[in-house]
Amino acid sequence: MKFDYLKFPAEPTEAFPDRKNALRPVLPIVVKNNDKKLNYLVLIDSGADHNIFHAEIGEELGIDIKKGKKLNFWGTSGEKQVAYYHHILIEVGGWEYKCYCGFSYEIEHLPYGLLGQDDFFKQFRIIFDYSKEQFEIRPKDSQT
Instruction: Give me the pLDDT at residue 142, please.
Output: 59
Express each pLDDT in 26-54 by its tens digit.
Answer: 999 999 999 999 999 999 999 899 999 99
Q: Note whether residue 17 is domain-resident.
A: no
Q: Note whether residue 63 is domain-resident.
A: yes
Express each pLDDT in 85-95 by its tens digit.
Answer: 999 999 998 88
The answer to whether 20 and 9 are in contact (CB under 8 A) is yes
Query: Which CATH number does the domain housing residue 57 bear?
Result: 2.40.70.10
Which residues of the chain are modeled with pLDDT < 70? 76-77, 142-144
Q: How many domains does the chain have?
A: 1
Q: Note whether residue 7 is domain-resident.
A: no
Q: Note whether residue 52 is domain-resident.
A: yes
- Which of 8-12's residues contact partners 24+ apart within 8 Å by CB, and which partners? 8/111
What residue numbers bound the domain in which 34 lies?
26-139
